[in-house]
Chain A
Amino acid sequence: MASGKSPAIVVQELLGQYMGPFTSKYAVQISSRKAFGAEPEAVTREQIPALLEELGPSIRTLLGKASAEKLAGQILLELGL
């Protein structure tokens, strides 16, 4: 990664555009701990699809299934996954 930001933090920032930085930080933190028992900074790029899977129900609740899938797809694309 060029800038050194961890991929989970990138996910957090992109989700923050929709749910605000406070909620996205909380969501990514909780999901990282639940899925991997790790803080977001320790989540690897390869673990991002699983992280997005964990976040899926929450994002679908707020945005609807179609939009949530598009958002997840765009995040993966932008992370080169």
Chain B
Amino acid sequence: MLKGKVWIFGDDINTDLILPTPYIYMPAREQARHVFEANRPGWINEMNAGDVIVAGRNFGMGSSRPAPLALKALSVGCVLADSVNALFFRNCVSFGLLALECPGVSQLFGEGELAQVSFDDFTVANCSSGKSLKAVPVPESLISMMQRGGIMPLLESEGFIAPRTAAEELQQSAQQ
């Protein structure tokens, strides 16, 4: 269960808007400073940890860049959209950012209202209006990976990759 303040975004929010090209090869904490700078400058200073992004169709369409990682570095609580790009969604799974596809969600909320999201029964509720919707269910294996920080912690625990050194961790501090 997650509760957070809603920020409304429109249709077709692409990955170049979420994470602009000049910053894609930088550490996540640096990437986070440029989120939505073309379409909503200043938003990163207004939002707070745990806030919820509510958007229309095709959220996250575009490139494979780690746009979810930049949102995670901002401590975005969850992304809800009428439809979510498949590649963006799998990056949410891989990087551990909670995201659900919920047709009609863009009409369920007004800016600043409070959202409550259950990842057990995939209910998305507007605490302000009392109305709710069902999100598209996500298989247990994927929700579990999202909630546990994505692919890297899994591969570390299985010995496929070495955990980051303290120095590397500092450099990439906002990443995992």
Mutual binders A and B: no
Residues of B within 8 A of A (CB): none
Residues of A within 8 A of B (CB): none
